[in-house]
Structure 1
Amino acid sequence: MINRRSFIKSTAAVAGTTAIINPYTVLADYGRAHPVKGKLILRYRPYTLQLRHVFTISSNSRSTTPVVLTELEYNGMTGYGEASMPPYLGESHETVLKFLSKVDLSVFDDPFEMENILTYVDGIMPGNRAAKASVDIALHDLVGKIIGQPWYKIWGYDPLKTPNTSYTIGIDKPDVVRQKVKEAEPYKILKVKIGRDSDKMMIETIRQVTDKPICVDVNQGWTDRQYAVDMAHWLHEKGVVFIEQGMPKEQVDDNAWLTEHSPIPTMGDEAVQRLDDVMKAHKVYSGINIKLMKCTGMREAHKMLTLARALGMKVMMGCMTETSCAISAAAQLTPMVDWADLDGALLISNDIYKGMQVINGKVTLTQWPGIGIKKLA
Structure 2
Amino acid sequence: MIAKKETFISVMHNASAPTNWIHHHQGKFQIRYRPYTLQMNHVFTVASFSRTTTPVVLLELDFEGFTGYGEAAMPPYLGESQESVFGFLQQVDLSRFSSPFETADILAYVDALAPNNTAAKAAIDIALHDLIGKIMQQPFYKVWGLDSQKIPPTSFTIGIDTEAMIRQKVAEAGTYRMLKVKLGLETDKMIIETIRSVTDVPLCADVNQGWKDKYLALDMAGWLAERNVVFLEQPMPKDQAEDNAWLTARSPIPTIADEACQRLADVPALRGIYSGINIKLMKCTGMREAKQMAELARALDMKVMLGCMTETSCAISAAAQLAPLADWADLDGALLIGNDLFDGMKVHDGLCHLPERPGIGVIKKGD
Instruction: Please report the TM-score for the alignment, with normalisation by the length of structure 1.
Output: 0.90
Residues in 2 aligned to 1:96 and 1:203: alpha-carbon distance in whole angstroms: 38
Q: CA deviation at 1:118?
A: 0.4
1:309 to 283, 292, 298: 298
Q: CA deviation at 1:89?
A: 1.1
Counterpart residue number, 1:288: 277
Counterpart residue number, 2:40: 51
Residues in 2 aligned to 1:367 and 1:165: alpha-carbon distance in whole angstroms: 19
Q: CA deviation at 1:88?
A: 1.9
AA in 2 matched with 1:110: S
AA in 2 matched with 1:164: P
Residues in 2 aligned to 1:44 and 1:235: alpha-carbon distance in whole angstroms: 44
Residues in 1 aligned to 2:102 and 2:211: alpha-carbon distance in whole angstroms: 44
Residues in 1 aligned to 2:120 and 2:39: alpha-carbon distance in whole angstroms: 20
Residues in 2 aligned to 1:122 and 1:148: alpha-carbon distance in whole angstroms: 27
2:132 to 129, 143, 148: 143
Residues in 1 aligned to 2:50 and 2:239: alpha-carbon distance in whole angstroms: 23
Give the secondary structure class of the aligned counterpart of 2:253.
coil
Residues in 2 aligned to 1:280 and 1:148: alpha-carbon distance in whole angstroms: 39
**TM-superposition CA deviations, 1:219-266 (whole Å, max 9, x none):** 000000000000000000111000000000000000001100100000
Give the secondary structure class of the aligned counterpart of 1:328.
helix
Counterpart residue number, 1:27: none
Give the secondary structure class of the aligned counterpart of 1:270.
coil
**TM-superposition CA deviations, 1:106-162 (whole Å, max 9, x none):** 111211000010000000000000000000000000001000111110111111111
AA in 2 matched with 1:175: A
AA in 1 matched with 2:151: T
AA in 1 matched with 2:100: P
Counterpart residue number, 2:214: 225
Residues in 1 aligned to 2:99 and 2:180: alpha-carbon distance in whole angstroms: 41
Counterpart residue number, 1:210: 199
Counterpart residue number, 1:323: 312
**The 10-residue stretch of structure 1 (239-248 or 359-368) with the greater mean CA deviation from structure 2:** 359-368
CA RMSD of aligned residues (A): 1.0
Residues in 1 aligned to 2:175 and 2:124: alpha-carbon distance in whole angstroms: 33
Counterpart residue number, 1:90: 79
Give the secondary structure class of the aligned counterpart of 1:134.
helix
Residues in 1 aligned to 2:121 and 2:78: alpha-carbon distance in whole angstroms: 13
Q: Percent identity?
A: 66
1:268 to 229, 251, 257: 257
AA in 2 matched with 1:168: T
AA in 1 matched with 2:260: A
- 1:1-377 superposed matches below 5 A: 39-377=28-366
Residues in 2 aligned to 1:250 and 1:274: alpha-carbon distance in whole angstroms: 16
Counterpart residue number, 1:28: none
Q: CA deviation at 1:369?
A: 0.6
Give the secondary structure class of the aligned counterpart of 1:301.
helix
**TM-superposition CA deviations, 1:275-326 (whole Å, max 9, x none):** 0111011111000000000000001001001100111110000000000000
Q: CA deviation at 1:87?
A: 1.8
Residues in 2 aligned to 1:280 and 1:64: alpha-carbon distance in whole angstroms: 34
Q: CA deviation at 1:376?
A: 1.0
AA in 1 matched with 2:343: K
Residues in 1 aligned to 2:285 and 2:236: alpha-carbon distance in whole angstroms: 24
Residues in 2 aligned to 1:318 and 1:286: alpha-carbon distance in whole angstroms: 16
AA in 1 matched with 2:295: T
**TM-superposition CA deviations, 1:74-101 (whole Å, max 9, x none):** 0111000000001221000110011011
Residues in 1 aligned to 2:114 and 2:187: alpha-carbon distance in whole angstroms: 40
Counterpart residue number, 1:31: none
Residues in 1 aligned to 2:76 and 2:206: alpha-carbon distance in whole angstroms: 17
AA in 2 matched with 1:374: I
Give the secondary structure class of the aligned counterpart of 1:346.
helix
**Between Structure 1 and Structure 2, how many residues are aligned?**
341
AA in 1 matched with 2:109: Y
Give the secondary structure class of the aligned counterpart of 2:35.
strand
Q: CA deviation at 1:366?
A: 1.3
AA in 2 matched with 1:203: I
AA in 1 matched with 2:32: R
Residues in 1 aligned to 2:179 and 2:315: alpha-carbon distance in whole angstroms: 21
Residues in 2 aligned to 1:118 and 1:191: alpha-carbon distance in whole angstroms: 32
AA in 2 matched with 1:285: Y
